Every structure is written in structure tokens, then in C-alpha cells.
Structure 1
Amino acid sequence: MATRGYQELEVWKKAHNCVVEIYRLTRDFPKEEMFGLVSQLRRAAVSIPANIAEGYRRSSIPEKLRFYNISQASLDEAAYYLLLAKDLKYATTDTAIDQLDEIARMLSGYIAGIRRRTA
């Protein structure tokens, strides 16, 4: 059986599931936010698993880490947009924020493991 690569990473799976949750959550945001907050949040969320996937196949450790760091930055961006949506009372975002917190911990651990193996 061939390896599926990044799709086998637990951190990628959680990040992908979080994107699906964010898409569901933002369906009910006000229509005037479709090209504002909704678009920004979705783009930031999609960037998390996308950069994990892209970094996974990079051959050099610095390249891998660069993409994983971009994923971390996108994670922080998405968390801010969720906080804003909560404060604007667009939705209850606690579940998605908790998911992002878990992904952040997992991704930090994954990055630390790569650094330890290459030190």
C-alpha cells in the first residue's frame, strides 16, 4: 500500500477538519461579510493544512520549517478572525478556537521533533 504522505499526519487531519468546520460556521455570517471577514477567515484557515502539505514534500529541513512556520502564522491569523467574529456576535466560535489551539500545540511539537532530529 502506497503512503498518502501528508494526509497521514494527525496535525494535517485536524487542520483539514477545522477548515471544514470554519466553512460551515461562516455560512451563517452576515452577507456583507462575505468578501470581508468570511473571505479572510477562510483563506487563513485553508492556509494551515495547505502549508503543512506543501512543507511535507520539501526536501530540505529549512524549506520544510519555512512552510510549517507559515502554517503557524496562518493559524494565529485565523484565531484572531474567530475572536473578532465572536466579539461581533456573528457566531459561537469556541469550538473552532479550541481546535486551533490543539492544532497549534501539535504543529509546535511536530516542528520541535524535526529540529531535534536534525540537531
Structure 2
Amino acid sequence: MSESLDSQKPGKGDIRHFSDFIVWQKAREVGGGVFELSKTFPADERFSLTDQIRRSSRSIGANIAEAWGKRYYQAAFVAKLVDSDGEAHETEHRLLESESCGYLAHSEIAPLGEKLREVGKSSEV
């Protein structure tokens, strides 16, 4: 388990709820940022790229929260963190797709890409 999450395991520090995890807080920031940026996507992307990127970005924090609920079962806890990391990678891919399609500029997606990589590093197991 990574050093950042290891120091936040049950019984360590002041972690009493999944929302106390810094990685969860960063995931929420990413979700909010993706939501705002995706508002500018064309209407014909509503049921494809817009929906997909919003779902994957929201799933990052949701999987961290679910991991917390399964914290007493190491395999389940780790599996949900791996799922969260997968959703972070999917979100980053979708951001790059958005740039390729001309919907977003690199300067718009770069800060979210950095934050997604931070989330990924924090949830490594």
C-alpha cells in the first residue's frame, strides 16, 4: 500500500470518514472541474463523450468512498482503490480525446491531468 494511504489506514491519524482522505478531496475537485469543462461540449456529444467523462470522473471519488466502506477486508479495499485508479486513467483519456476533437484546449485539461496523476499516485497499492 502506498505511503500516503498507509498512513491513513483505520486507527491511524484523524481519518474517521472517507471524506477525510486528501485523495478523495482531490478526486472531487477533478469531478467538479470535468463537469464544468464538459458543459462546453457540443450537444451531439451529450450521450457519448460528455456522459462518459462525467461518469468516469465521478467514479474516482465514489470508488475511494466504497473502498473506505470495505476497509476491514484488505482484498476488497485494494480492489476498489484499483478501480478508482482505472477510472482516473479513463478520465485522463477522455480529456485527451476532448482536446483531440477540439472541444478543449491543452491549457484547460493540463491542470486536471496533473491532479489525476496525483490521485493515481495517492491510491497506489
TM-score category, normalised to shorter length? 0.7 to 0.9
- Aligned pair partner of 1:65 in 65, 72, 78: 78
The whole-number CA distance in structure 2 between the counterparts of 1:105 and 1:66 is: 15
Runs of 4+ in structure 1 over 6 Å off: none
The whole-number CA distance in structure 2 between the counterparts of 1:4 and 1:43 is: 27
Normalised TM-score (structure 2): 0.82
User: 2:41 is paired with a residue of what secondary structure?
Assistant: coil
CA RMSD, 1 decimal: 1.4
Matched, 1:75 2:88: yes
Structure 1: unaligned runs, 5 residues or longer? 112-119
Count of residues paired in the alignment = 108
Matched, 1:32 2:48: no
- Aligned pair partner of 1:88 in 93, 101, 120: 101
The structure whose residues are more often helix, as a share, is 1
Structure 2: unaligned runs, 5 residues or longer? 1-14
Give percent identity, aligned residues only. 26
Equivalent pair of 2:85/2:119 in contact (CA under 8 Å):
no
Letter in 2 for 1:69: V
Normalised TM-score (structure 1): 0.85
